[in-house]
Chain A
Amino acid sequence: MATINLDQLTKSYGPDEVLHHISGDINDSEFVVIVGPSGCGKSTLLRMIAGLETVTSGEISIGGKIVNEIEPADRDIAMVFQNYALYPHMSVRENMAYGLKIRKTPKDEITRRVNEAADILEIREYLDRKPRQLSGGQRQRVAMGRAIVRDPQVFLFDEPLSNLDAKLRVQMRLEIRKLQKRLGVTSIYVTHDQVEAMTLGDRLMVLNAGYVEQFDTPIELYERPASMFVAGFIGSPAMNFLTATGGDGLVILDNGTALPTRLSTSGPVIAGIRPEHLIAEPEGVLPVRVEMLEQLGANTLVHGVLDGSDIPIVASVTGIQSLPVNDVVRFTPGPDALHLFDANTERRLS
């Protein structure tokens, strides 16, 4: 078990800096998810922690020890790869035992640990099979088994579920979460899937174009997104953004509607409202011309534009609703539903 500290971590490929001064402290036994869109540098960051990529500047510490110059094998980490990375010529048992064998662990100790991990992951009956004889989900379990048997200080997961089908992904997500809590191993998990990130992580590090946008708990990210990027990335469907002008205790939308807020601002601001915080009311302040409905059963997504403009608005209303398309429906933001962002810096105005 260990803490991990990232201090002003930078990565450049030639003249291109792809990660910019990443800092953050990960507590003992914590499950941290690094999340962001493709190309934001999240995998690179994980690989730097693993030691598979060099560090351009800054420091990585694991368990209080700077590991910049330490070989991956000596960092006491285990990694689960996106494509499982099982050794195709070895049986499941050999795959799981390989790391221990290299470390010259006694034979009976290896057997004991492999069996133990196989029991935890319920893959005991596959131990003598080759990886190609297993399904995707089973391979994923073996890949995790290989990490568990090593009993490392840190688990690193690089989008381990992205090759599984949707149903299996949800199931494995829960299992990974349970396993991590049971073993209590500090874990870093990389994904581009915000639902996966929200459900798995004790805390989420949101990366965008090589910068940390926010590093906080899932609820905090949802309730108080630090930037428009986080606000748009976390939550589905994405937050509505409306340009507005700040005022004393209110903001005035471009169409003249005044929305009350606790903040006093001035100049151009962006008002963000989550679709699920829009309430349909006959007296609502936001007239939305309905363009399309998506009925999902539990809720209905109303796609439209702010009446008299082409600003897109999405609202999520509970239950199955049949609103007339092309008509105007009026919505009101719920109490405290308004997020305000600086129009220039796109940072939260709190």
Chain B
Amino acid sequence: MHPALLGLLTIVIGVSGCIGYFYGSNLLLDKVIFPARGPNIGRNINRANLIRPWLFLFPAIFALGLYLAYPVVETLRLSLTDRDAGGAFVGLQNYSQMFGEPKFWEALRNNFLWLLIVPAGATGFGLLAAQLTDRIRWGNLAKSLIFMPMAISFVGAGVIWKLVYEQRPVDVEQIGVLNAIWLGLGGAEPQTWLTIPLWNNFFLMIVLVWIQTGFAMVILSAALRGIPEETIEAAIIDGASPFQIFFKIKVPQIMGTIVVVWTTITLVVLKVFDIVFAMTNGQWETQVLANYMFDKLFRANDWGVGSASAMIIMLLVTPILVWNVRSVRKETQ
């Protein structure tokens, strides 16, 4: 069958299945199990109303349980077993093995660097872009351009930036923009940027900053627009300079949104995988936790250590996620 037709069929079956479930189960509850008639009519209606929310919540709870809660438990179990001993329980041995690997510590250090730089960079540039494009005629065009990388997949972005960092022999024309600029500015020979330890991390981070700046900008731009115009005019009359207005009047008023944007990007950073996978695959000291996990799980087929590293990532993400959800709630109150 034609794939498009297949897709359409899937949608039709899925949607009608959903409608059928909600309508049918609701009908079953009201007409058959607890019918609103007979001697116990009042009790029946109350009971039906007690059950109804669970009926409607069930599909979501089931899907979340199957695809979210169960994998967490299973990953925890796998991280405590050893594949060589036929899946025997080995306690924390996988963890101690992992902690003994320099590559793990390298990944942890790099993740920490990403954590420091990418959220700050993306939020900072996003705020700058939001403020600078706020009142100008072509501001919306600029915003669209800055937002566009959001539409590119991480792998796609990785490939694009790999071309930016591309290196050719010195006597050949450079197709990598960075090397072209480097030589144009008087650099002696073209550099293989992605193999320079420590620095290459930053070259990878730029890709994520490039993608996430658009996200930060859109959210912060909306927040900036939400600031009452009168407070800014009051500050103008109070004699505040444009910098003072920005940092002392505007930024404090959108601090809640800045925190939400910051933590949201932090979560993306902790899970960063595709960019590293596509550009360096963790070589030249650019390993990150998610790629380390992938290496262990699918390359080395060591689900024990792989699961252990997954647990570490989850442990790091959870507190930030909780904080993020709390900030969002505070924002929307």
Interface of A with B (CB < 8 Å)? Answer: 50-52, 72-74, 77-79, 81-90, 98-99, 102-103, 146, 150
Q: Which residue of B lies closest to A97 (CB)?
A: B238
Interface of B with A (CB < 8 Å)? Answer: 228, 230-231, 233-240, 244, 249, 252-253, 255
Please, which residues of chain A bring their CB within 8 A of the CB of B244? 102
Assembled-state Cα–Cα distance A78/B236 (Å) = 10
Contact, CB under 8 Å: A78 / B237: yes
Contact of A81 among B230, B249, B255 (CB under 8 A): B230
Contact, CB under 8 Å: B239 / A73: yes
Assembled-state Cα–Cα distance A84/B229 (Å) = 11
Please, which residues of chain B bring their CB within 8 A of the CB of A86? 231, 234
Assembled-state Cα–Cα distance A293/B233 (Å) = 47
Contact, CB under 8 Å: B230 / A72: no
Assembled-state Cα–Cα distance A74/B234 (Å) = 13
Known contacts: A83-B228, A89-B253, A102-B244. The answer to whether A72 contacts B234 by CB under 8 A is no
Contact, CB under 8 Å: B231 / A85: yes
Assembled-state Cα–Cα distance A90/B235 (Å) = 12
Q: Which residue of B lies closest to A73 (CB)?
A: B239
Query: Lowest 10 CB-CB distances: which A-B pairs, in order?
Result: A73-B239, A85-B230, A99-B238, A89-B252, A85-B234, A81-B230, A102-B239, A72-B237, A85-B231, A79-B237
Please, which residues of chain B bring their CB within 8 A of the CB of A84? 230
Contact of A79 among B231, B234, B249 (CB under 8 A): B234
Contact of A73 among B230, B237, B249 (CB under 8 A): B237
Please, which residues of chain A bring their CB within 8 A of the CB of B233? 52, 79, 81, 85
Contact of B234 among A81, A89, A103 (CB under 8 A): A81
Contact, CB under 8 Å: B234 / A88: no
Task: Identify 10 new A-B residue pairs, CB closer than 8 A, beyond the known A83-B228, A90-B252, A146-B238.
Answer: A52-B233, A52-B236, A79-B233, A79-B234, A85-B231, A86-B234, A98-B235, A98-B238, A98-B240, A102-B244
Q: Which residue of B lies closest to A88 (CB)?
A: B253
Please, which residues of chain A bring their CB within 8 A of the CB of B238? 73, 98-99, 102, 146, 150
Contact of B230 among A78, A82, A89, A150 (CB under 8 A): A82
Q: Which residue of A lies closest to B254 (CB)?
A: A89
Assembled-state Cα–Cα distance A81/B253 (Å) = 18
Contact of A89 among B228, B240, B255 (CB under 8 A): B255
Contact, CB under 8 Å: B236 / A73: yes
What are 15 A-B contacts defined by CB distance under 8 Å? A52-B233, A73-B236, A77-B237, A79-B233, A79-B237, A81-B233, A85-B231, A87-B235, A87-B253, A88-B231, A89-B252, A89-B253, A98-B235, A99-B237, A102-B244
Known contacts: A83-B230, A85-B231. The answer to whether A72 contacts B240 by CB under 8 A is no
Please, which residues of chain A bring their CB within 8 A of the CB of B249? 87
Q: How far is the CB of B145 from chain A (nearest CB, A)?
A: 28
Contact, CB under 8 Å: A85 / B228: yes
Please, which residues of chain B bring their CB within 8 A of the CB of A81? 230, 233-234
Contact, CB under 8 Å: B239 / A103: yes
Please, which residues of chain B bring their CB within 8 A of the CB of A87? 231, 234-235, 249, 252-253
Assembled-state Cα–Cα distance A150/B239 (Å) = 11
Tell which of B230, B233, B239, B255 has the most Cβ of chain A within 10 Å.
Answer: B239
Please, which residues of chain B bring their CB within 8 A of the CB of A72? 236-237
Assembled-state Cα–Cα distance A22/B238 (Å) = 27
Q: How far is the CB of B88 from chain A (nearest CB, A)?
A: 58
Assembled-state Cα–Cα distance A82/B255 (Å) = 25
Assembled-state Cα–Cα distance A88/B251 (Å) = 12
Q: How far is the CB of A132 from chain B (nearest CB, A)?
A: 12
Please, which residues of chain B bring their CB within 8 A of the CB of A85? 228, 230-231, 233-234
Please, which residues of chain B bring their CB within 8 A of the CB of A99? 237-239
Q: How far is the CB of A62 from chain B (nearest CB, A)?
A: 13
Assembled-state Cα–Cα distance A279/B309 (Å) = 95
Please, which residues of chain B bring their CB within 8 A of the CB of A52? 233, 236-237
Assembled-state Cα–Cα distance A22/B193 (Å) = 67
Q: How far is the CB of A320 from chain B (nearest CB, A)?
A: 45
Assembled-state Cα–Cα distance A316/B236 (Å) = 48
Assembled-state Cα–Cα distance A86/B238 (Å) = 12
Assembled-state Cα–Cα distance A35/B63 (Å) = 64
Please, which residues of chain B bring their CB within 8 A of the CB of A83? 228, 230
Q: Which residue of B lies closest to A50 (CB)?
A: B237
Q: Which residue of B lies closest to A47 (CB)?
A: B233
Q: How far is the CB of B170 from chain A (nearest CB, A)?
A: 55
Assembled-state Cα–Cα distance A85/B235 (Å) = 9
Please, which residues of chain A bring their CB within 8 A of the CB of B235? 87, 98
Please, which residues of chain B bring their CB within 8 A of the CB of A77? 237
